[in-house]
Amino acid sequence: MDSGGSGLRVALAEAASGAVLGTRATREPVRTGPGGISARHFLDQVLPAVAALTEPHGSRPLVAVAVGAAGMATLGDELRAALPGALAAAWGVRRLALAADAVTAYAGALGQRPGAVVAGGTGMIALGTDLAGWRRADGWGHLLGDCGSGAWIGRAGLDAAMRAYDGRRGGSAALLARAEQLFGPVAGLPGALYPRTDRPAVLASFAPEVGRCAAEDPVAADVLARAAGHIAEAAAAVCPAGPGALVALTGGLFRMGDPLLVPLRTALRELLPHARTTDPAGDPLAGAVTLAAALATGTLRLPEDGTLLCLHGDGTD
């Protein structure tokens, strides 16, 4: 199961091979309340989805479940308290992994090999492991971090637009024009932006405009070069030492293409000369399938952690 800001996805797979038999998805994100991520709302969506997936397969039992959820590390207390008992009662399943979405992104991208994964979108987090423990860098939100993320790039691009509007150094007329095309007169942007609860997403919506300007505008190109440096620094902070480590980039941020990826590859070579960049093998739902299949077959190598990856059942609880 993969629970994120755009909804919930569920996959049913063969325990032995990990081959996916079917998937279901909802468009409604799991709610977050005073107790964190709502276990009741999660179950209200998951139980009928799993029933629909398993019904064609008769009496074959569910052997293991893996849940990856955005916010699990900091907002997952209710899920960690409620799901082991609820899923055991619903399906008789005893082997359960509750993971942060960064862990399922890692497992989807690299499987159970040592290395580092940078997950970039509106926010940005880097996660690495030597299979003995986890290391994370950034993922602190748009006010305290997420350096190099879509929100960071968009905010830096809008800063350059406002500088051009004011006549200050560091401004970009090209980004000012793009900002006014997207948001209207920029003098009204603070009043339109600051009251919104989705400010990171609004900032990130301007990141593609920075990418489109980068080929002709040195200010936009410099924004992306600085973003690449931040991303490479986060990867270097979590990547295990020694030759042969893998680094994967996953998430919508990297669909920006060469304007970001060219300086990022250069920065990664400088900071991580011992590591090799590789394409991600799969997405976070594929990572949840990897975790569940490994639990089912007793082959899990990724390290347990109190908040990032909690295991229940078969003596792990």
- 259: exposed, middle or buried (C-beta count within 10 Å: 0-12, 13-18, 19+)? buried
Partnered with residue 221 across adjacent β-strands are none
Task: Give me the helices (H) in the chain, please.
Answer: 39-54, 72-75, 77-91, 101-110, 150-166, 173-183, 189-193, 199-204, 207-213, 218-238, 258-271, 284-297
The whole-number pLDDT of residue 314 equals: 61
The whole-number pLDDT of residue 107 equals: 95
Place of tokens 């755009």: 6
Distance (Å, whole) CA 170 – CA 157: 10
**Length of the chain in terms of residues written:** 317
- 194: exposed, middle or buried (C-beta count within 10 Å: 0-12, 13-18, 19+)? exposed
Cα 137–Cα 285–Cα 301 angle in degrees, nearest 5? 65
Q: What does pTM read for this prediction?
A: 0.84
Distance (Å, whole) CA 74 – CA 69: 11
The whole-number pLDDT of residue 193 equals: 87
Residues 6+ away with beta carbon under 8 Å from 59: none
The whole-number pLDDT of residue 281 equals: 92
For residue 46, which of 9, 71, 79 has the smallest C-alpha distance?
A: 9
The whole-number pLDDT of residue 315 equals: 40
The whole-number pLDDT of residue 75 equals: 85
| Distances in whole angstroms, Cα of residue 66 to Cα of each of 20, 61, 213, 297, 312 | 14, 15, 42, 13, 10
The whole-number pLDDT of residue 265 equals: 94
Query: Which regions of the chain are under pLDDT 50?
Result: 315
Any idea of the CA torsion for 105, 107, 111, 117, to the nearest 10 degrees? 50
Distance (Å, whole) CA 193 – CA 183: 10
